[in-house]
A and B are shown apart, each in its own frame.
Chain A
C-alpha cells in the first residue's frame, strides 16, 4: 500500500497569510494526488485533483503543485472560511490512501 505523510500536522495562521502544506507519497504516484478540505461535522470537499487542477467552484487562492512523490497545497491569502483540516489523497492505486491531515487554525 502507498503511505501518505503530511507536514505540518497543524499550523496557526492569520487572515491574509500565505499557507503551504506539503504531502509526500511513499512511492511515485505521478500526478494522482488530490487535496480535500474538511470542516468540523461536515463531509470532505474536493479542492484540487490531479495535483494541480482546481475543482469547479473552488476559489483561485487555492493551488496545488508537484509530481512524483512530493506535493504542495498553497493558500495564497488565508480567509476566515479556510480554517479547516486539509487532507491529501493518492488515487494512483487501491487502497486510495489519505494523509493524516493538517489542521489550520487561527493564530
Chain B
C-alpha cells in the first residue's frame, strides 16, 4: 500500500524546536519531489516547503524561511522538517505530500498525503 506516515508533532514552547518525520512506503520514494503543507486550526491549507527527488534543491514559504529546514534520506525512505525558533503562528497540523507529475499533460499534483501531525506552540 502506498502511504505516508508523519510523526514528531507535539507541544513546544515559543522559541523551541521540533523535527517532523514522514515515512514513505509502497513506492519508489527517491523518484518523487516531496512537500510539507500545514493547516492551522479552522483555517485553510498553506504550502510550507518542497524538496526535489535527490535532495539537492529546496524551497520555503517566506513565513518559515530561515527557521525551517526540509531534508530527506532516500535510503530510509523518510522526509524531514526541522523546525526552529517556533512561534505561536506555526501551530498547525503538518502534512507531508508526494508530488506526482504527468509529463503528457500540464500536470503535477499532490496525489498522496500523510494523515498529518499536530504541532502546538504555546507556553
A contact set with B: CB distance below 8 Å: 30-32, 34, 36, 38, 43-46, 49-51, 53, 55, 87, 89, 91, 94-101
User: Which of B7-15, B23-31, B83-91, B99-107 lies on the face that meets chain A?
Assistant: B99-107
A43 touching B47 by the CB < 8 A rule?
no
B contact set with A: CB distance below 8 Å: 35, 37, 44-47, 50, 59, 61, 95, 99-100, 102, 105-111, 113-116
A96 touching B44 by the CB < 8 A rule?
no
Main secondary structure on chain B at its contact with chain A? strand
Which B residues are CB-close (under 8 A) to A96?
A: 35, 47, 50, 110
Known: A55-B111, A95-B59, A96-B35. A44 touches B105 (CB 8 A): no
For the complex, give the distance between the alpha carbons of A53 and B100 in Å: 13
For the complex, give the distance between the alpha carbons of A12 and B61 in Å: 33
Of the residues A30, A44, A55, A94, contact of B45 by C-beta under 8 Å = A44
For the complex, give the distance between the alpha carbons of A91 and B113 in Å: 16
Main secondary structure on chain A at its contact with chain B? loop
Q: How far apart are B114's CB and chain A's nearest CB, in angstroms?
A: 7
For the complex, give the distance between the alpha carbons of A64 and B50 in Å: 26
Q: Could you write out 19 A-B pairs with CB less than 8 Å apart?
A: A31-B105, A32-B106, A32-B107, A38-B45, A44-B37, A44-B110, A46-B111, A49-B102, A49-B109, A50-B105, A50-B109, A91-B99, A91-B108, A95-B61, A96-B35, A96-B47, A97-B47, A98-B37, A98-B45
Which A residues are CB-close (under 8 A) to B105?
A: 31, 49-50, 53
User: Which B-chain residue is minimally distant from A48 (CB atoms)?
Assistant: B109
B106 touching A43 by the CB < 8 A rule?
no
